[in-house]
Structure 1
Amino acid sequence: TFGLYIATTVIAVSIGLLLVNAIQPGGFISEDTRGDMLASFGESVDHQIDLAKSQVEDVSPLQPIIDIVPENIIESASSNTNMLQVIFISVLLGVALISLPIGEVIGLKKVFDASNAVMLKIVDIIMLSAPYGVFAIMAAIIVEVPSFELFKALGAYGLTVVIGLLLLIYGVYALMVMLLGKMKPSKFYKAISPAQLLAFSTSSSAATLPVTMECVEKGLGVRKDVLSFVLPIGATVNMDGTCLYQGVAAIFIAQVLNYDLTLAQQLSVILTATLASIGSAAVPGAGILMLVIVLESIGVPPAGIALIFAIDRPLDMLRTTTNITGDAVVALIMNRSMKE
């Protein structure tokens, strides 16, 4: 499972780097527009930089492993930022349940089953209003942008990210579904479309997880024990869309700021983006925090994030959709391998 997740992440970042070097979107930004962007979004970027630095300061290499064990079970379960802790609690609870006679735990199992059914029904009700919510989000984004010129100037950058995400979803993932999952891509995409819509509207892999699990189980026929392990882990460690975006964004910012990156620096983006994605929060805006780490690793000022802030929200929605699609692909492949 982890091997597949890391492989797809490396492929995603590589696609992003190839596209951004081929299209060179940084050449479409004028000096005046660059100044406007830095002035308009500088304060927001400073906050993100401070937040990212506070998360990585004085952190040992083994800290992510230590953080898997929660200090407070209730706090971990109520926060979308501690998905690995939730998985740890769930595995521990599951081991305890199967170690006891079925007669002693049947009541608790029924409570869990009923709670799961209720939560899925609540999500189904919310899904009915999802299209209207997406419309409202997009309208708010357009209204809040300081100038339409900023959108036009960022068109090449946004198009580069979108092309990369489409290649990943309908190219790489389609091949994996056919060759490794032994399923027609059309059936796969139809089955997970409700989860993709919710991911697009919420920009959160964690919030989409119940719907993703339902789609993968009922639409793709993946065993419950497989998806219950693969998908929650994927929501935390597998962020293909986010890593592709980081590769494009890092090189784009370097191009605009006239930083000439060496091949070694660009290759380091692949490693840094992959490592940064493991354990990061599956919530809206997490990609920006990860991007600060990537930029600092190649010597590009994190303040350059202001250059892409104007269209980050719609791209966040698209890359989250890609993230959960990748999770579903890996779940399908793992289910197939278990059968064989």
Structure 2
Amino acid sequence: MKKMNLTTKILLALILGAVFGVVLSTITSPLIKQTLMLDGILKLLGTGFLNAIKLLVVPLIFVSIVYATASLDDIKKVGRIGSKTMIFYVATTALAIVVALTVSNIIKPGIGIDLNSVVLGQGISEVTSINFIDTLLQIIPTNIFMAFADGNVLGVLFFAVIVGISITLVGEKAEPVLRLFEGLNEVFLKLVTLIMQFAPYGVFALVATTFATFGFSALMPLVKYAACILLALGIQFFIVYLGMLVFIGKLNPKVFVKKFMPIFNLCFSTASSSAALPLSLESSDKQFGVSKRVSSFTLPLGATINMDGTAIMQGVAVVFIAQIYGIPLGFGDYIMVILTAVLASIGTAGVPGVGLVMLTMVLASVNLPVEGIALIMGIDRILDMIRTGINVAGDNVCTILIAKQENEFDESVYNTPTVHLD
């Protein structure tokens, strides 16, 4: 194990965790399965690793966004990169929902499903409607310290941008402040590197817990629903994202796929865009050749508002639930779903399972029963692991394309063989 690099260790831990989880699901002894493993060793390792990553995510986003914004030293460039990033994220999210609606209307996942065979979740008591205006208001926190404490990433991000712009406007007198944030940025990235040394153990525990709890049994009754989501995710990644790299960026997509796999493995195991952010930041510089001035701005923003994979789930889920309940959807309904899901993705935090919460807003927009969420809760965790990777892939593709347009991209680094992260 000591001779393996971190990427190989994480991949091995992912495979071993899945196998161990499936074996653990067959154990009938509550003492061994639940008390000792799921609520004991696996919970300590998995949740402990996630907590350590989440501990750094909010301050890392704040420091990196302030530093990135201030380092651009040109307000016009800040606005240009910011507007390009927002346009990319909104456009790809809208396209993702269109792909999801198209695929689900072709496959028709809700037609012919026997509700008695569906593995229901544990109810929808934890899934409550969210007022979108209230979500938008979180962007402007009344207390920045409370925003940090509550994990209000949108509020922290907004405050970081205006602090960075202020540093730029002040100019030479704020140079010491800029150097401070540059140093803090390096310190937090080093902290992430230290915590990532424990990633293989956390990945093993998280994947094992998921497969031991749900296994593949929860997936079988809803195989058409799962197939719709997986097909739409595949189209979004291989056709939309890689197509953009080829036709807009003039880059080799095979290189991106190979270098993105370690990030995808972490996304799969944690089901959290935020948890994958530190590795994305490190890989963007060392693997893809993107300047930190761009990646430190676009990647944290993407982890906060760009949720194409989640949008695909919401699009498929709307059609699935409508078909299950026999409620026809018209063209106007689909337009409303696209608009609402795009807006919902902006308020979706990069943590496991939050996509279901935002789905309530999308269902309400076309008068579909929120109770339908219970039909998909049983398998959502497994699918969430995959769609998180698509969320983060979109962040990285956006970062590469914008960096190349802004001459903040080293193509020679992009095309060099994979650099193994130790």
Q: Would you say 1:276 and 2:344 are equivalent positions?
A: yes
Q: TM-score, normalised by structure 1?
A: 0.87
5 Å-filtered alignment, 1:79-118, equals 79-80=150-151, 82-98=152-168, 99-101=171-173, 104-105=176-177, 108-109=180-181, 111-118=183-190
* 1:31-50 correspondence to structure 2 within 5 Å: 31-33=115-117, 37=119, 40-41=120-121, 44-49=123-128
Task: Tell me, yes or no, if the aligned pair for 2:305 and 2:349 is still in contact at 8 Å.
Answer: no
Q: CA-to-partner distance for each residue in 1:110-138, whole Å, 9 max, x for gaps?
A: 64044223322134213333541343133
Match of 2:208 among 115, 132, 136: 136
Give the Cα–Cα distance (whole angstroms) in 1 for the partners of residues 178 and 305 of structure 2. Answer: 32
Aligned: 1:122 with 2:194: yes
Counterpart-to-counterpart distance in 2, 1:260 and 1:109:
54
Counterparts of 1:110 and 1:25, CA distance in 2: 50
**What is the deviation of 1:218?**
1.5
Q: CA deviation at 1:188?
A: 1.1
Q: Is the 8 A contact 1:141 1:313 kept in 2?
A: no
Cα distance in 2, alignment partners of residues 327 and 106 from structure 1: 25
| Equivalent residue for 2:362, pick from 294, 307, 313 | 294
Give 1:106 deviation, angstroms.
7.1
Runs of 4+ in 1 over 6 A off after TM superposition: none
1:319 corresponds in structure 2 to: 387
Aligned residues of 2:154 and 2:304 also touching (Cα < 8 A): yes
- Tell me how far 1:305 sits from its aligned partner: 0.7
Contact 1:216/1:328 (<8 A) preserved:
yes
Q: Which residue of 2 aligns with 1:71?
A: 142
What corresponds to 1:207 in structure 2?
275
Q: How does 1:228-267 map to 2 (within 5 A)?
A: 228-267=296-335
Alpha-carbon distance in 1 for matches of 2:353, 2:178: 40
Deviation for aligned residue 1:203:
1.4
- Measured in 2, the distance between the counterparts of 1:79 and 1:186 equals 40
2:91 corresponding residue in structure 1: 7
Structure 2: where are the runs of 5+ without partners?
Answer: 1-84, 409-422
Q: Identity over the aligned pairs, expressed in percent?
A: 35
Letter in 1 for 2:192: L
Structure 1: 5+ residue stretches without partners? none
Give how far 1:256 is off: 1.1
Q: CA offsets per residue over residues 59-108 of structure 1, 9 Å max, x none?
A: 64xx555422323333323444x222222232344345553547744773
User: Are positions 1:24 and 2:108 aligned together?
Assistant: yes
What is the CA-CA distance between 1:4 and the residue it aligns to? 1.0
Check whether the contact 1:205–1:282 (CA below 8 A) recurs between aligned residues.
yes
Matches of 1:303 and 1:178, distance apart in 2: 42
Please tell me whether the aligned partners of residues 199 and 317 of structure 1 are also in contact (alpha carbons under 8 angstroms): yes
SS in structure 1 opposite 2:347? coil
Letter in 2 for 1:126: F
- SS across alignment from 1:45: coil
Closer/same/farther in 2, CA of residues 254 and 102 from structure 1, 3 Å limit:
closer
Deviation digits for residues 257-285 of structure 1 (CA, Å, limit 9, x no counterpart): 11121222123211111111112212111
Superposed CA offset, 1:27-68 (max 9, x none): 24114325xx4xx43x5313313xx2xx31xx64xx555422
- Relative contact order (C-alpha < 8 Å, sep 6+): which is higher? 1
Q: TM-score by structure 2 length?
A: 0.71
Evaluate the alpha carbon distance shift between residue 161 and residue 106 of structure 1 in structure 2; reply closer, same or farther with a 3 A threshold: closer
Q: What does residue range 183-202 of structure 1 map to in structure 2 within 5 Å? A: 183-202=251-270
Aligned residue identity for 1:77:
F
Correspondence for 1:156 among 208, 221, 224 = 224
Aligned residues: 322
